[in-house]
Amino acid sequence: MIDPFGRRISYLRLSVTDRCDLRCAYCMAEDTEFLPKADVLDLEELARLSSVFIGLGVRKLRLTGGEPLVRRGIMQLIGALGEHVAAGRLAELTLTTNGTQLSRYAEGLARAGMRRINVSVDSLDPGLFHKITRRGDLALVLEGIRAAKAAGLAVKINTVVLGGVNDQEIDRLIAWCGEEGHDLSLIEAMPLGEFSTGPDFQALPLSVLRDQLARRWTLAATDYSSGGPARYVTVVETGRRLGFITPLSHGFCESCNRVRVSCTGRLFLCLGHEAGTDLRQPLRASASDAPVQEAIRRAIGLKPEGHDFVARRASHQPLARTMNHTGG
């Protein structure tokens, strides 16, 4: 799959549910209404759609949500996708999780062929963690991370940097990741849903934070890439990698190799655009994969050159959809 700008699309982020057991302020409304079950692709449909994308050239597949591990029967899907890894059709299968269910599933994830996962941790202070997540128990998440590590999974920590909320805690997170053997990615909060216009949304350019961190840590250049949008340095004092994901202050669109599919089967070509293509209808209308393949090919031909988060922030016109509906 080659888009109009010559970028090879080889990375699929597949949302398996819009549901979550947390309510992180930057991701979803506290009183959010979840989708009707009939609108959501079942596990067999998710597996079939994944196989179509793999057949079209996807080599990396990340499961997202909502929280993927709250989806009933999720290990059935993960097991089916793991067969693609074992057969060499898929180079990497991974997921992003809030960690609350990791103690239950870490060993199964490793058996299915996962080698690394991302875990969202926006604070190491239990009170602040609960405030950001609106209900989370930090101890439960840390227990899950330990279980993942014991199962042999490499854990990368994701932290959404919220100006005036957790930005003073980044040094602590860097030190903790060094002690525990985790890489860390810092993420600029994106203008999605009601969060972007609320009192807690304070955009903090990571370029500013990086300059501040460079006064206290030795940040060495590295050519490492995880295949996603993060730009990495190595923190010399800890020996761990530190990534910066900067959709607002420094776009990464020129190297975009990914698309997203929501749990309803909607293909989003860019996180920063509303436009999408419905794959659920052709998936359910025919036992043949040909109509789905054709819909995907047509959509890839319309992939935009870049997102417009900066323009949206300036005009106070955020995207209406929330992260849990889109897939993280």
The binding site for [4Fe-4S] cluster comprises 20, 24, 27, 253, 256, 270
Reduced to 3 states (helix: H, G, I; strand: E, B; else coil), residue 250 is: coil
β-strand partners of 277: 267
List, as residue ranges, the binding site for GTP: 13, 62, 96, 156, 258-260
Instruction: Kindly state the greatest CA–CA separation across the chain.
Output: 59
List residues forming the annotated binding site.
13, 20, 24, 26-27, 62, 66, 96, 120, 156, 190, 253, 256, 258-260, 270
What torsion, rounded to 10 degrees, do the Cα atoms 142, 122, 175, 243 define? Answer: 120
* Residues that constitute the known binding site for S-adenosyl-L-methionine: 26, 66, 120, 190
- Cα separation, 257 vs 253, whole angstroms: 9
326: nearest Cα among 273, 278, 282, 261: 261
| Of 273, 275, 270, 262, residue with least CA distance to 326 | 262
Q: Contact at 8 Å (CB) between 183 and 157?
A: yes
Give the residue from 200, 178, 63 showing the smallest Cα distance to 128: 200
Mapped onto helix, strand or coil, the DSSP state of residue 125 is: coil
